[in-house]
Structure 1
Amino acid sequence: MRKHLLLKLLGLLAVLALAASACGGDDDADETGSASASDSAAEPAAEPDPEPAAEPADDAGDAAVEPSGEAVTVTMWWHTGTPEEMEATDAAVAAFNSSRTDIQIDKTDIPGGAYTDQVNAAALAGDLPCVLDFDGPFVYNFAWSDYLIPIDEYVSDEMRADFLPSIIDQGTYNGELYSLGQFDSGLGMYANRAYLDAAGVRVPTFEEPWTLEEFEAGLAALAELPEVEFPLDLKINYGQGEWYTYGFSPILQSFGGDLVDRSDYQRASGVLDGPESVEAMETFQSWFDNGWVDPATPADDSFYGSKTAAISFVGHWMWTPHSEALGDDLLVLPMPNFGGQTVTGMGSWNYGISSNCEDPEAAFEVLSHLVSTEEILRMTAGNGAVPARLSALEQSDLYSADGPLAIFAQQLSEGRAVPRPIFPGYATVTEVFAQAVADIIAGADVQSELSDAASAIDQNIEDNSGYPTG
């Protein structure tokens, strides 16, 4: 037991120390789903989910306090996202507090750069707030370390069925649900219709995405256009970090490879460096070798500003600049089928309840309010992300069936999204894979890079005794 506890503490320190650099925080393009899209709009909000009253909790000085002798105060930590996200979150808290006399939210905003350090210190001290948020794949180390409680008993079947499958997958660890989010992220391709027409490239559909052969033939044809310098923008300007895992691991998975053996999460060797993964990354490397992708750090606006790129491989957060610059020439396309299946990325910030919380029922009422249809629509109207609930999708101008970004929602709702590895050692996975991608872009041997990465993951698993759950 002591060894298991020590492993959990060390694992938590590792994941939180890496999270700030791996996720990119809020100082980047926030490429996993929380960038600004202030011009996006949503339909009028629906009524929030009904919420039963909670019993008051004692004043514990940390997770739940009782300032008036009547109302339970639920403490909440929130990373400071974009201005639009901050405005929406503040409004959600104000709406809850003004509508309730039995429960009040005490929200603390923590800057993105300091967030992981503060959460880390509080977790180790047993002083976490009741409700807190975290980036998608980093929830699993919290759950494994027993710093979060499962929320299955509070989530009704009806509520669960209204969430995108990707949101449920993201929040589930070891068979139990630990978190829910307000939004997911959409990964696909934006294309310049005028360039595709000029090059004679077929416009793919959800039912008939590009094959690898079509995709590469299209890039070759687009490269011949005089307006195009590098036909494919892979957002290399985002830099080495979580974008490399979020954005490029779906290519591995489309070829039939993966980052780790998901059957038991006990090895990466033979999977990350297996023949399917090697073929995927050799193909990826060839796009640079063929002159289709700028190997330097390109300008962010090569697709929508200078328009020297014909296709941008990126997510929903670039909708506003792309649509404003290209207008009717903008196409939003599904991920290609590079091998055996079409795969898209997924995941973003989500909420959970800490094991320090003395009144988890009250905390869940807060969480339930934050992820209600009304609050999801408020948030996604500001940040342009994919609404996490089907009831919100139906009311979204961007993501309803006839909305311009419907393809992103369709990929998530119809099973094409693969979550990043659901296990406590994810921090090591993303660190070493991102390094391998950077080296592969620079021309390194693919097999050697992936084998080195797989060995590092295997060593981390061994060092943590396989991340036991007993």
Structure 2
Amino acid sequence: MAIVLSACGGQPASNNHDRVTISVWSHGGTDEEKRILGEQTEAFNASHPMIRAVLTTISEGDYNDKVQAAAAANEFPDVLDLDGPTLANYAYRKRLAPLGELLPAGTVTRLLPSLRAQGTYDGKLYGVGTFDSGLGLFGNRKLLDAAGVRYPRRIDETWTADQFTAALRALSAHDSDRLVLDLKLNYGVGEWFTYAFSPLLWSAGTDLIDRDTGRAQGRLDSEAAVAALRRLADWHRYTDPNPQDNALQLGRVALAWGGHWTYPEVARALGRNLVLLPLPDLGNGPKTGQGSWVWTVSSRTASPESAAEFIDYLLRDAEVLRMATANGAVPGTSDALARSALYQPDAPLALYATQLQRTCGNGSITAACVAVPRPPTPAYSFISTQFATAVSIIFDGGDPRTALHAAAVAIDQDLNNNRGYRTDRS
């Protein structure tokens, strides 16, 4: 769908000068997500006679480029969704309006703590999501049992790194090509590598950067990080390349490192043989990623209250459940989560809810918490690119210490080039 920049800025509708028109951009997502958001927009317009939301859907492959171009030109629409980790950069560049005084206090309170943490930059709330994400290991119960592999189902039963390696060895002994793990390599080198594998750093007691100083050297290239990525390289030897993204569904692998969005398809394929397991524990407790797409309001909108009213509508529990049911994501409000059939204590995706309820938030990454937000820094996209590149090099046989150190040096140089991304810059 083409982007109409003239719709930006909260212009009044031409046929009714009393009705405010707000422009809304959304990434493409799945066909079902697009359908539901379209219906939600129509329902909002029908129930709000003084506001007209005009939705523009942009293909996900083009979306970030379009958003970056609009940010550079200072031509954001009134409302747009952003991939959560990128929010800090746009807030730092003053392209977003704080939502704390625009949204009702009750709406913010009902958000999952993980979503409030993700949407906060420099102490202010800039983004809110209707759903959060889940990360874990999907398993084929039949294949696991056939190999005699005992597997964890709860956070307090997580495999250690050694136990996970032993499970892969046992599974490979019962597999013709010995490739029993899907790491979603078909997703390519990009944000998936950071979302999927940075939890290993956190579980090893380190991080992508020092979150107080923003520096990567001493954290990303620490002994703990090197050891964690060596573990990952070892597991990579058991990985099916999975070019058609169907290795688990067809029974070629017994385990798949995956996100919530894969659940609908793998559930249809495996039925009662599908199990969801936590990621392995490398010493600092099991860890998982969190965060997904968030709704934001442009700092240049002429109608901030109307823009916020649209977002508030999307955060109604019924609307949150509609979207989460369609994409398998974790519902973004506490009440909607409590009502979701998929996330009840004994339901198929209960683990995802448990993990997010034990978020580290923006505090220290300790053994007591599980879900960790990616670093809320304007430098995040650069950090992610460097880490993903390092992982790719390691998967291709490169030395983890060399690859991680090169990434850390590049990240610190970017920090220096941007004067530490100081928020008190003139």
TM over 0.5: yes
Q: 2:396 aligns with which of 426, 439, 442?
A: 442
Matched, 1:218 2:135: no
Residue 397 of structure 2 corresponds to residue 465 of structure 1: no
Once residues 230 and 66 of structure 2 are traced to their aligned partners in structure 1, the CA distance between those partners, rounded to angstroms, is 40
Corresponding residue number in structure 2 for 1:32? none
The alpha-carbon distance between structure 1 residues 300 and 106, as it changes in their structure 2 partners (threshold 3 A), is closer
1:464 shift after superposition: 0.5
Query: CA separation in 1, counterparts of 2:49 and 2:409?
Result: 55
Partners of 1:377 and 1:212 in 2: CA distance: 36
Equivalent residue in structure 2 for 1:326, among 261, 267, 270: 270
CA gap of 1:126–1:287, structure 2 versus 1, over 3 A, is: closer
Identify the range of structure 1 (111-120 vs 360-369) with the bigger mean alpha-carbon deviation: 111-120
Corresponding residue for 1:232?
181
Which residue of structure 2 aligns with residue 368 of structure 1? 312
Alignment check: 8 A CA contact 2:264 2:327 kept = no
Q: Retained in 1: the 8 A contact 2:8–2:22?
A: no
CA contact (8 A) 2:155 2:286 kept: no
Matches within 5 A, 1:19-58: none
Bigger mean CA deviation after superposition, 183-192 or 398-407: 398-407
Alignment of 1:41-80 (within 5 A): 62-67=8-13, 68-80=16-28
| 1:394-405 → structure 2 map (5 Å cutoff) | 394-405=338-349
Unpaired runs of at least 5, structure 1: 1-59
Q: Which whole-Å CA distance do the structure 2 matches of 1:124 and 1:239 have between them?
A: 27
> Aligned residue for 1:456?
410
SS in 1 for 2:372: coil
| TM superposition shift of 1:298 | 5.0
Contact 1:80 1:111 in 2 (8 A): yes
For these two proteins, the number of residue pairs brought into alignment is: 406
CA distance in 1, matches of 2:78, 2:175: 58
TM-score (norm 2): 0.91
Instruction: Give the letter aligned to residue 239 of structure 2.
Output: V
Q: Deviation string for 1:107-162 (max 9, x for gaps)?
A: 22223343333333332333221111111111111000000011112344432232
2:70 aligns with one of 110, 118, 122 = 122
Q: Which has the higher contact order (CA 8 A, sep 6+)?
A: 1
TM (norm. structure 1) is 0.83
- Would you say the 8 A contact 1:433–1:453 is kept in 2? yes
The gaps in structure 2 that reach 5 residues or longer are: 1-5, 360-369
Map residues 292-441 of structure 1 onto 2, 5 A cutoff.
292-294=238-240, 296=241, 298-305=243-250, 307-415=251-359, 416-441=370-395
Distance in 2, Cα, partners of 1:426 & 1:375: 30
Tell me the equivalent position of 1:281: 229
Q: What secondary structure does 1:420 align onto?
A: coil
How far residue 89 of structure 1 moved from its aligned partner, in angstroms, is 0.6
Q: Is the 8 A contact 1:76 1:105 kept in 2?
A: yes
Give the stretch that moved more between structures: 171-180 or 358-367. 358-367
CA offset at residue 280 of structure 1? 0.3
What's the counterpart of residue 57 of structure 1? Answer: none
Give the Cα–Cα distance (whole angstroms) in 2 for the partners of residues 134 and 234 of structure 1: 25
The 3 A distance-change label for structure 1 pair 226 and 283 is closer
Q: Which residue of 1 aligns with 2:365?
A: none
Cα distance in 2 for partners of 1:384, 1:250 equals 21
- Residues 12 and 19 of structure 2 are in contact (CA less than 8 Å); yes or no, is this contact kept in structure 1? yes
Secondary structure in 2 matching 1:154? coil
- Which letter does structure 2 place at the counterpart of 1:420? R
* Secondary structure of the corresponding residue to residue 337 of structure 1: coil
Tell me the distance in 2 between the aligned counterparts of 1:264 and 1:135: 24
> C-alpha separation between the residues in 1 aligned to 2:104 and 2:280?
36
Deviation per residue, 1:78-117 (Å, 9 max, x gap): 2222111111111111111111122221222223343333
| In structure 1, C-alpha distance between the alignment counterparts of 2:400 and 2:276, rounded to whole Å | 31
The alignment yields a C-alpha RMSD, in angstroms, of 1.8
Provide the rounded CA distance (Å) in 2 between the counterparts of 1:360 and 1:74.
9
Q: 1:283 to 1:129 in 2, by over 3 A?
A: same
User: Cα offset for 1:367?
Assistant: 1.0
Helix, strand or coil for the counterpart of 1:408?
helix
Q: Could you tell me which of 13, 29, 32 is aligned with 1:81?
A: 29
What's the CA shift string for 1:213-241, capped at 9, x where partnerless? 22122112111114673122111121111
Does the aligned pair in 2 maintain the 1:235–1:314 contact within 8 Å? yes
SS of alignment partner, residue 240 of structure 1 = coil
Task: Indicate yes or no: 2:193 matched with 1:244.
Answer: yes
